[in-house]
Amino acid sequence: MRIVLRAVSYIGYFKARFAAKFLIMWLSLLTPLVLPWPLKIVIDNVVLGMPVAPEAFPSYFRGFFVGFLDGMGPVEMMAYVVGLGAFMVIVFGAFGTTAGAADYTEGQLEEGHDTATQTENEANAAFSKFAGILGFVEFRLQLRLTQALNHLLRSQLFERIQALPMSVLNDQRIGDSLYRVMYDTPALTNVFYQFIMSPVLAIFTAFVILLVMSFNYGDAPEVVYLALFILPLQWLAIAPWPRLMRRRSQASRAAGAVTTGNVEEGMSNVLAVQSLGGNKQERRRFDGHSGESFKRYRAQFLVTLMVRVSMGLARGLLGLVAFYLISARVIEGVLTPGDYGVLIYYYAWFSGALTAIPYVWIRIQHNIPGVRRVFFLMDLPGEAYTGGVELERVSQGVEMRGVGFVYSDGRRALENIDLKASVGEITALVGPTGAGKTSLAHLVPAYHAPSEGTLLIDGVEVGDIAVKSLRRQVAYVFQETQL
């Protein structure tokens, strides 16, 4: 939960845009208050020719539309209903009779069947239940918000990686760091939206629909009770899956990071691989890692599939019961045929809102491993830039007296090194691979601190020199040069 709350805290960077997105999404979830009532007018008053009964409609719809239709003929009423529908399509978009939007606003690229290739859509996620003018406004707003959030997080993580001590950077594979920056950071986007928007808006929508159903259809309370039963039933349906989803997602991301690291390492050492005839070995290594990555993703997708099946069966079972109860009330004459369409619509929308609440928990479990991997790297202790003597310009040189260095894992790289390199001289360090040449060179700009002995720059111990001023005096030439 601490990770979730930390992810949600990023709302503080985008308060105004997040509030605007929240407001428009809230409006989109209020559309059920209006959508089914024109259908009742068409069935009861236009097709069946029943007189308009204003008391059969909710007060908010009765005041601005139903009262206006009172006394009109079927053709006139149908014309005004069509006009209202055209206006709503232009502003809100087209909605289907199954309580789901038949038309909505989204934009996604084709994606592959692994975590890495799906993050491009997550890093640019935008969606609106509206498809008209409001849909375009909401889509553009969320797109900019998502991109700004991911840019901020990637920048913070990359800056943190740059500040890590050399010893940590040596232990952290470049491919894994790349995976975290590019492919794990979008996981925060889902938590960012889902933890706040989905539960709050789903509960609010369900509450509003419940009030409308209770006030207008108190003669059929069993439908309301049945809809309320969906929530505990859905929690039971997902009970076996959250922990398994989290573990499978973690395994999928870890395998993807290994594959990315293999690609980076292979490309960095391509000249060595080709010159030593290691192409087949490198191909086999990549084939194994890539296959493992897809295998882990398939395991994760299997859990996702089981969650959807479990929740779909639970919702479908109660849907059949609701169909029976509403149909029976229509046959008994308690409800009109027009009420059947309204109640089926409201029941489907209400059940969808309640189903979204437990499903959010599953989605969070799916994304938490990625967020955890990002925050883990961000929380690693950075390099300490302590104050000290400002080194304007090296005038004498470097001197080592009995210097030794041991890595954090216990490997000794240097022991009892005495060296004097004066300004104006060229000093070459020669030795076989693993002799400690790079480790010794890293001591000079204070990438590592000597485990024992003394390292002096112009007669001043390196630990007493301001790190930034020291590194301004050091130039680095990469070992592998290419044209």
From the list 122, 131, 13, the residue with the least C-alpha distance to 363 is 122
pLDDT at 45 over 70: yes
d(CA 447, CA 163): 11
d(CA 374, CA 159): 13
Q: Comparing 153-157, 267-271, 308-312, 410-414, which segment has the lowest mean pLDDT?
A: 267-271
CB 296 within 8 A of CB 248: yes
Strands 127-128 and 460-461: unpaired
Q: Is 263 helix (H, G, I), strand (E, B) or coil?
A: helix
pLDDT at 337 over 90: no
pLDDT at 467 (0 to 100): 81
For 382-394, the DSSP string reads: -------B-----
pLDDT at 247 (0 to 100): 93
- Which residue has better confidence, 306 or 468? 306
From the list 36, 75, 43, the residue with the least C-alpha distance to 58 is 36
Domain 397-471: CATH class, spelled out:
alpha beta
User: Which residues in the chain are classed under CATH 3.40.50.300?
Assistant: 397-471
**Which residues partner with 420 through β-bridges?**
399
At 21-39, the pLDDT tens digits run 888 888 877 777 777 778 8
Q: What is the arithmetic mean of pLDDT over 187-213?
A: 78
d(CA 113, CA 115): 7
Query: pLDDT-derived band of residue 133, with 50, 70 and 90 as boundaries?
Result: confident
The residue type of 392 is E
pLDDT at 276 over 70: no
d(CA 40, CA 340): 9
Q: Comparing 201-210, 263-272, 334-343, which segment has the lowest mean pLDDT?
A: 263-272
pLDDT at 471 over 60: yes
Per the confidence metrics, is the pTM higher than 0.85? no
At 308-319, the pLDDT tens digits run 999 989 888 888
Tokens linked to 110: 């084709």
d(CA 172, CA 163): 13
Q: Is 467 helix (H, G, I), strand (E, B) or coil?
A: helix
pLDDT at 277 (0 to 100): 66
pLDDT at 173 over 60: yes
d(CA 255, CA 265): 15
**Which residues partner with 421 through β-bridges?**
398
d(CA 421, CA 398): 5
d(CA 294, CA 286): 12
Query: pLDDT-derived band of residue 248, with 50, 70 and 90 as boundaries?
Result: very high
Q: Going by C-beta distance under 8 Å and a sequence separation of 6 or more, which residues neighbour residue 221?
A: 214
The total of other beta-carbon atoms located within 10 Å of residue 433's CB is: 6
pLDDT at 310 (0 to 100): 93
pLDDT at 271 (0 to 100): 65
d(CA 64, CA 67): 7
Tokens linked to 29: 């979830």
Tokens linked to 111: 């994606």
Tokens linked to 383: 């390099």
d(CA 388, CA 177): 32
| Contacts for 399-402: CB closer than 8 Å, 24+ residues apart | 399/455, 399/456, 399/459, 400/443, 400/453, 400/454, 400/455, 400/456, 401/453, 401/454, 401/455, 401/456, 402/452, 402/453, 402/454
* Number of separate helices (H) and strands (E) present in the chain: 20, 6
The total of other beta-carbon atoms located within 10 Å of residue 57's CB is: 19
Q: What is the arithmetic mean of pLDDT over 323-352?
A: 81
pLDDT at 480 over 60: no
Fold of 2-35+95-378: ABC transporter transmembrane region fold (1.20.1560)
d(CA 294, CA 48): 58
Strand order through the sheet with 412-422: 412-422, 397-406, 452-457, 460-461
The total of other beta-carbon atoms located within 10 Å of residue 408's CB is: 10
Q: What is the arithmetic mean of pLDDT over 347-352?
A: 80
**Which residues partner with 460 through β-bridges?**
457
Query: pLDDT-derived band of residue 272, with 50, 70 and 90 as boundaries?
Result: low
CB 375 within 8 A of CB 214: no
